[in-house]
Amino acid sequence: MARNAEREFVLEIDDLKTYFDSEEGVLRAVDGVTFAVKRGRILAIVGESGCGKSVTAYSVLRLIQKPGRIAGGSIRLHPRQGPTIDITALDDKAEALYAVRGGLISMIFQEPMTALSPVHTVGNQICEAILLHQDVSEREAEEAAIAMLGKVGIPGPETRLNQYPFELSGGMRQRVVIAMALVCHPELLIADEPTTALDVTIQAQILGLIKDLQRDLGTSVLLITHDLGVVAQTAEDVAVMYLGRIVEQAAVRPLMKQPRHPYTRALLESLPSLSERHARLESIEGSVPALTAIPPGCPFHPRCRFAVAGRCDAGGPPALREVAPGRQVACVRAEELP
Amino acid sequence: MTQQPQPLLDVRGLSKFFPIYSKGFFQRAVGNVKAVDRVSLRLFPGETLALVGESGSGKTTAARTILRALEPTAGQVLFRANGHTVDLAALRERQLKPLRTRMQMIFQDPFSSLNPRMTVGDIVGEPLVIHGLARGSALRDRVADMLERVGLKAHHAMRYPHAFSGGQRQRVGVARALILRPSLVIADEAVSALDVSVQAQVINLLEDLQQEFHVAYLFVAHDLSVVKHIADRVAVMYAGRIVELADTDALFDDPLHPYTRALMSAVPYPDPDVKMRFQAPGEVADPAALPPGCSFHPRCSQCFDRCSQEPPELREHAPGRFVACHLQDGDGSP
């Protein structure tokens, strides 16, 4: 059983809790998140600002800084070769953690300009990643960098190697960041809002590129986004987060065609593109509560049009449970809703 | 067809160039960034015209130049106020001030567009104070009334912006823009910074207020799905020029300009069964170094000889339907 899981999944996260200590108390940014990324597939975590999607991604790389801390749960990485690595158990300065970061798991950030060093050439930055994680000569590293720049669709990679990030456009910079992330053939690529800062035609190019490379290289991808359009066009599996918890999880088609959790439904209904012109948009009442004031019971109940007194507004948050094969929903009324 | 009403806003050949200076002591102007180049459009009372484009297309610069937040390089901005038509581009600052009560702006970022040291009541009431239209208890009453119309509470006037969420702050921005009952509001990416559930609330609010006050919106945006929802007509900009202008339904059903088609095909549609079929390689043209001929021709799959030689003019292809593309000229003209 355990061996099967290792073959099927590249990353397994179990009951992850990432908390931030603040003057107003403990902020539960991620509060009991469980999911797994299937090998060679794209899993999207989608949610609005403050839902904990980025904190989840940063937790996987152990990039949570004080006053934040991983308060519980486990994150296990199953590389194709070698034993399973329990990322949560690694020491802060362990060699194994450095091997994970940028080696086994790499990350693409939202803002390509801040993710790149302004004072180093593109070539330097890509070669640094190679030399850090692979036992190759500088010459070989440079060749690998040129090959990778070509793969991400940068014209004239030999000359680009000597350029600085400011000499490149936003789309080109994001291509460089992707090249840097994939040059060490990671087991898992985490893409945190990789196209949010880009124009729509450039976004389409970059999304296409990520999908092509994922298919060619067999990389598994954890995609963090707020954009349901990006999810529909890119992801294979989806987890929807709200206030630090996963509320619904399924393959992309059933999730978007027949959402079962009231929050997922409301999110999809509030999209202007899916409704009639000038018809009123179905908006969600109110706004996302602060992490200091998470409602009791189901955290979504004050905004939920299906909430019933006594069942939704008291006790602990509803557990994420399987309501149909391959579909998990955290709603006590999942089966009875129209 | 009903009789065409008089336009509220009639922009004719509006241009805004920013000079590029040479390095060195004399700082001679060596060229221009043609941020907005001969833009013409009309906006009718109570309607919503969307100005869409990618970054650097000049949509924000065009909007700001219309309001004279930027000085136009050329062109006319005919604005109808109190039964007269005036050219905003030609007026002196002093003559402009009374007209500013008729035109207002809503900004993109609800965090930086509200002064953190002013209470919400002061922010919303400031336009009335500046124009000397209300004071004392009348001012407080009008602010309280406006706050309630945008879905806030009257007692919120005492609070500071930091106490509000992004969506609530944007409501404050809307209240400030509409308290003078303007006939024209320029909404510059007014919902882009908001989460999708809150975005829907603000879009609904803007539509409700348009019904109530009969205000016309010039809605600057890059998100085509929002534009499709809210706009009556759409103008698509590329590299400082309008490349297509049409009724929203006509534009989305049958886009004529290759750039409009590329833009639409690039929108990730939130349905896994509708696949993106994107075709426009390369990047947005640099307005400081535009390609000759049609600015879009290096990215256009249907480009032919003439496209790289001669810039296409914006022509009326069908009633109310304008497009700037040699493919659509079709009358055999050279």
Q: For the segment B161-173, what is each residue's pLDDT rounded down to a tens digit?
A: 998 888 899 999 9
> Which band of pLDDT confidence, cut at 50, 70 and 90, is reported for residue B1?
very low
Cα–Cα distance, A195 to B83 (Å, whole number): 47
Looking at chain B, how many residues does it have?
Answer: 334
> What's phi and psi for B289, nearest 5 deg?
-145, 70
Amino acid letter at B141? D
E runs forming strands in chain B: 9-21, 29-43, 48-52, 74-81, 84-87, 103-106, 184-188, 216-221, 233-238, 241-247, 315-318, 321-323
Cβ pair A272:B204 closer than 8 A: no
Asked whether residue B105 carries a pLDDT value surpassing 90, the answer given is: yes
> Which band of pLDDT confidence, cut at 50, 70 and 90, is reported for residue B29?
confident
Residues β-bridged to residue A45: A224, A239
Buried residues in A268-301 as b, exposed as e (16+ CB within 10 A): bbbbbbbbeeeeebbbbeebbbebeeeeebbbbb
Average pLDDT over residues B295-311: 93
What confidence score (pLDDT) does residue B99 get?
Answer: 94
Asked whether residue A196 carries a pLDDT value surpassing 70, the answer given is: yes
What confidence score (pLDDT) does residue A5 get?
Answer: 77
> Which band of pLDDT confidence, cut at 50, 70 and 90, is reported for residue B334?
very low
Structural Rg of chain A based on CA atoms: 21
Residue A196, chain B, CB below 8 Å: the answer is no
Cβ pair B278:A204 closer than 8 A: yes
> Which band of pLDDT confidence, cut at 50, 70 and 90, is reported for residue A3?
low
Cα–Cα distance, B20 to B9 (Å, whole number): 31
Asked whether residue B87 carries a pLDDT value surpassing 50, the answer given is: yes
Average pLDDT over residues A199-211: 90
Average pLDDT over residues B227-239: 95
> Which band of pLDDT confidence, cut at 50, 70 and 90, is reported for residue A202?
confident
Tell me, rounded to whole angstroms, the distance of Cα A186 from its chain centroid.
15
DSSP B207-220: HHHHHHH--EEEEE
Nearest to A127 by CA among A108, A115, A143, A113: A143
Looking at chain A, how many residues does it have?
Answer: 338
Q: Residue A90, Cβ neighbours under 10 Å: how many?
A: 17
- This complex has an ipTM of 0.84
* CB contact at 8 A, B184 and B216: yes
Residue with tokens 């009991």: A32
Report which DSSP code applies to A18.
E
Closest chain B C-alpha to A282 CA, distance in angstroms:
7
Residue B204, chain A, CB below 8 Å: the answer is yes
Closest chain A C-alpha to B194 CA, distance in angstroms:
9
Cα–Cα distance, A250 to A46 (Å, whole number): 12
List the domain boundaries for chain B.
9-21+30-328
Cβ pair A266:B197 closer than 8 A: yes
Residue A257, chain B, CB below 8 Å: the answer is yes
Dihedral sign, Cα of residue A150, residue A155, residue A158, residue A163: negative
Asked whether residue B30 carries a pLDDT value surpassing 90, the answer given is: no
Percentage with pLDDT > 90 across chain A: 75
Of A201, A267, A281, the CB nearest to B266: A201
Dihedral sign, Cα of residue A163, residue A165, residue A169, residue A170: positive
Asked whether residue B231 carries a pLDDT value surpassing 90, the answer given is: yes
* CB contact at 8 A, B193 and B199: no
Buried residues in A317-326 as b, exposed as e (16+ CB within 10 A): bbebeebeee
Closest chain B C-alpha to A288 CA, distance in angstroms:
9
Percentage with pLDDT > 70 across chain B: 97
Cα–Cα distance, A68 to A59 (Å, whole number): 10
Report which DSSP code applies to B117.
T
> What's phi and psi for A42, nearest 5 deg?
-110, 115
Among A85-94, B21-30, B313-322, the range scoring the smallest mean pLDDT is: B21-30
What confidence score (pLDDT) does residue A274 get?
Answer: 61
Contacts of A288 in chain B (CB under 8 A): 165, 195
Residue B53, chain A, CB below 8 Å: the answer is no
Residues β-bridged to residue B245: B235, B322
Dihedral sign, Cα of residue A146, residue A148, residue A149, residue A151: positive
What confidence score (pLDDT) does residue B145 get?
Answer: 96
Contacts of A203 in chain B (CB under 8 A): 266, 268
Residue B325, chain A, CB below 8 Å: the answer is no
* CB contact at 8 A, A153 and A175: yes
> What's phi and psi for A97, nearest 5 deg?
-70, -40
Cβ pair A230:B268 closer than 8 A: yes
Asked whether residue A140 carries a pLDDT value surpassing 50, the answer given is: yes
Cα–Cα distance, B247 to B234 (Å, whole number): 6
> Which band of pLDDT confidence, cut at 50, 70 and 90, is reported for residue B196?
confident
Asked whether residue A142 carries a pLDDT value surpassing 90, the answer given is: yes
Residue A155, chain B, CB below 8 Å: the answer is no
Asked whether residue A218 carries a pLDDT value surpassing 70, the answer given is: yes
Asked whether residue B103 carries a pLDDT value surpassing 80, the answer given is: yes
Average pLDDT over residues A53-66: 94
What confidence score (pLDDT) does residue A1 get?
Answer: 47
Contacts of A174 in chain B (CB under 8 A): none
* CB contact at 8 A, B287 and B240: yes
Average pLDDT over residues A26-47: 96
Cα–Cα distance, B216 to B231 (Å, whole number): 11
Residue A305, chain B, CB below 8 Å: the answer is no
Amino acid letter at A159? T
| pLDDT tens digits along B252-269 | 999 999 999 999 988 888
Cα–Cα distance, A127 to B261 (Å, whole number): 39
Shortest CA distance from A201: residue in chain B = B266
- Going from the C-alpha of B179 to that of each of B151, B187, B207, the distances in angstroms are 14, 15, 16
Residue A278, chain B, CB below 8 Å: the answer is yes
Cβ pair A201:B262 closer than 8 A: yes
- The better pLDDT of the pair B308, B286 is held by B308
Average pLDDT over residues B32-56: 94
Average predicted confidence (pLDDT) for chain A: 92
Global pTM value: 0.89
Count Cβ atoms within 10 A of the Cβ of residue A74 and give its class: 0-12 exposed, 13-18 middle, 19 or more buried: middle
Cα–Cα distance, A128 to A142 (Å, whole number): 10
- Going from the C-alpha of B38 to that of each of B24, B35, B73, the distances in angstroms are 31, 10, 10
Residue B3, chain A, CB below 8 Å: the answer is no
Contacts of A257 in chain B (CB under 8 A): 271-273
Average predicted confidence (pLDDT) for chain B: 91
Average pLDDT over residues A321-329: 95
> Which band of pLDDT confidence, cut at 50, 70 and 90, is reported for residue A50?
confident
Nearest to A152 by CA among A133, A128, A124, A171: A171
Among A123-127, B17-21, B171-175, the range scoring the smallest mean pLDDT is: B17-21
Give every CB contact of residue A233 below 8 A, 6+ residues apart in sequence. Answer: A207, B268, B269, B272, B275, B276
Percentage with pLDDT > 90 across chain B: 76
Contacts of B152 in chain A (CB under 8 A): none
> Which band of pLDDT confidence, cut at 50, 70 and 90, is reported for residue B333?
very low
Write the CATH number of the domain with boundaries B9-21+30-328.
3.40.50.300
Tell me, rounded to whole angstroms, the distance of Cα A226 from its chain centroid.
10
- Going from the C-alpha of B100 to that of each of A43, B97, B194, the distances in angstroms are 50, 5, 27
Average pLDDT over residues A242-259: 96
